[in-house]
Chains A and B, each alone.
Chain A
Amino acid sequence: MDILVCIKRVPTVGGKIAVTPDGQEVDTRASGFSISPHEECAVEEAVQITERDGGSVSVLTLGPEAAVEQLRGALALGAHRAVLLETDGREFGPIATAAAIAAGVRAGSYDLVLLGNEAADTGDYQVGVRLAHELGWPVATGIKNLSVSDGAVVARREYRGVEEAYSLPLPAVVTVKEGINLPRYPSLPGRLRAKRAAVDRSSPEWAAEGLRKSALRVPESGKHQAEVLGEGVDAVPALVRVLEEWGVLS
């Protein structure tokens, strides 16, 4: 089974998130970058499948030259090959992203393409589905459990307390969510191998689309610093009073 995993380089945000003065992107002066969490699980899932059944894992990203860092991160987790679809730094919309990835899929030979359900930053919730339509392949999204058998996958998710199972003939596209597995930490030999690995490159065309970003902003939270009720167990009577006031004690 030859699997392609699509990942995205996103800012690592911790205690707070801020926007650049021009309102066009997240201020990353004080943060690093990482792979979107759902996609880290997609890499792990692909590596587990090929460890069990054989085959290869390729990892692809659409992003700037700096996104090689995330490709090497995925290689260190066990992926075998890396593909960079290099952008000039402009943000590709979901339609152009799906088209660029589809070209990358056609340039190889894959049985299964895995993506995250949605990218942590843009949250467009559609690239995997658009990619599947471009390729004419079946697709399942938001998947938390995947089993592979001869020529098909069964993809499962939970919805409103009901388990849904989707059977897809291969080749297919599946988007996964965190929780499908616990990603491993990269091994030292993995990291060394990743450092030396070659990265295939191409440069897809950016194209305008119907949805255009004007600006990003941080929403007003309306919350202020918490009022401290007290320290340790001495605060419990005050805590009970607050809960009574709010009517949460029935």
Chain B
Amino acid sequence: MTALVLVELDGGEPADASLRALTLARSIGDVSAVVFAAAVPQDALAGYGVTDGYLVEPSSLEGYAPQAWARTLAGLAAETGATAVLAAGTDRGNEVLAHLGAITGLPMAANCTLVTPDGGTTHRLVRHRWAGLLLEDAVMEAPVALFTVATDSVAAVAAETPAAIEVHVHKPELTEADLLVRAVESPAGAGGASLATARVVVGGGRGVGGPEGFAPLEELAELLGGVVGVSRVVTSEGWRPHKQQVGQTGTKITPELYLACGISGAIQHIAGCASARHIIAINTDPGAPILAHADYAVIGDLHQVIPALVEALRAR
């Protein structure tokens, strides 16, 4: 059994989401990795048990072209006899594996949390539905199984002993059609990305009352070295931009602390913040659903509690 994993890079090193995919891939069999870059991050991949690293250099394919990446994976999977191909459940990972599924006619399971080979061409798996609010137990029957990995539910764990990694330069066979759709990149403003990786998120919901009510939350976030996130009602009312939305249709966050202020806790919001290590709710309603997901709660008006908290923190 060999699993071929698409590894995305972040500053030349494997992205955290890809380390999680590599971790899950080890439960399937030997692990090979594909990297689209100028160099393979050998030590990091070896540490996660990768025995073969396939490098697709910019001279073969520069920049991101989803169908070309999928065509490359299809070629490598055939060449290496891989029984499974995996990617992180990111925008790119899901997109590339969807293309791979379409090119090959193979089924694909998105956002898996557990995969177990079950003999022959069968895998048993658990995957997210409703952004992780529900789990689906499923069976995949396919000569090559395609999985993306739920990045907020699988921990990144290094291999017990690093593998001896061998690096191969791979030249994909691509058609013009594979390269038709490709990303032209330019710097974007901060927002979604910093929310997804923030150590502290101060969340504001309907209870904030309007666009002008966010100043104390911003001040508290800055004091705690964090950022402001919001619930869906806040963005659908146009109080704050959508890129600040925490939830199923916004950003999934994984901070040390999520301070949910004036947020009742619709289940789609919980889907976005359930992976926070600690949750504190500040809410006027002791019956708010968010309290069932929080470690601690303060029952009260955020417009009084937050300024008092800011003052107390400044006084330390």
Tell me if A141 counts as interface (CB < 8 A to partner B): yes
Tell me the count of chain A residues lying within 8 A, CB to CB, of chain B.
85
Contacts of B130 in A (CB 8 A): 13, 17, 26, 120-121, 123
- Name the residue on A nearest B134 (C-beta): A216
Return the chain A residue nearest B242 by Cβ: A179
- Comparing A59-67, A76-84, A190-198, A228-236, the segment that makes contact with chain B is A228-236
A16-B267, A94-B108, A226-B296 given as contacts; is B138 within 8 A of A212 (CB)?
yes
Kindly list chain B residues whose C-beta atoms are within 8 Å of the C-beta of A250: 225
Question: How many interface residues does B have (CB within 8 Å)?
Answer: 97
Chain A residues within an 8 Å CB radius of B299: 228, 230-232, 235
B94→A126 contact, CB < 8 A: yes
Chain B residue with Cβ nearest A161 = B193
Q: Is A221 an interface residue (CB 8 A)?
A: yes
* Residue B28 interfacial (CB < 8 Å): no
Q: Cβ of B128: which chain A residues have Cβ within 8 Å of it?
A: 123
Confirm or deny: A148 has a beta carbon within 8 angstroms of a beta carbon on chain B: no
Number of A-B pairs, beta carbon distance below 8 Å = 267
A233 and B296 within 8 A (CB): no
Q: Is the interface of A mostly helix, strand, loop or mixed?
A: mixed
Asked whether B274 lies within 8 Å of A17 as measured between CB atoms, the reply is no
Query: Would A236 and B312 count as touching, CB distance under 8 A?
Result: yes
- Give 26 CB contacts A-B under 8 Å: A14-B266, A15-B267, A19-B134, A121-B130, A123-B128, A123-B130, A126-B101, A129-B101, A130-B102, A142-B95, A158-B243, A162-B187, A210-B106, A210-B142, A211-B138, A211-B139, A218-B133, A219-B134, A226-B294, A231-B298, A231-B300, A233-B305, A235-B298, A236-B308, A243-B224, A249-B313
**Residues of B near any A CB (own CB < 8 A):** 10, 15, 64, 66, 89, 91-92, 94-95, 97-99, 101-103, 105-111, 128-142, 148, 180-188, 190-194, 199-200, 224-225, 235-236, 238, 241-243, 245, 248-250, 256-257, 265-268, 274, 278-281, 286, 289, 291-301, 304-305, 308-309, 312-313, 316
Binding site for B on A (CB under 8 A): 13-17, 19, 26, 37-38, 93-95, 98, 118, 120-126, 128-130, 132-134, 138-142, 144, 157-169, 177-179, 182, 209-219, 221, 223-233, 235-237, 239-240, 242-243, 246-250
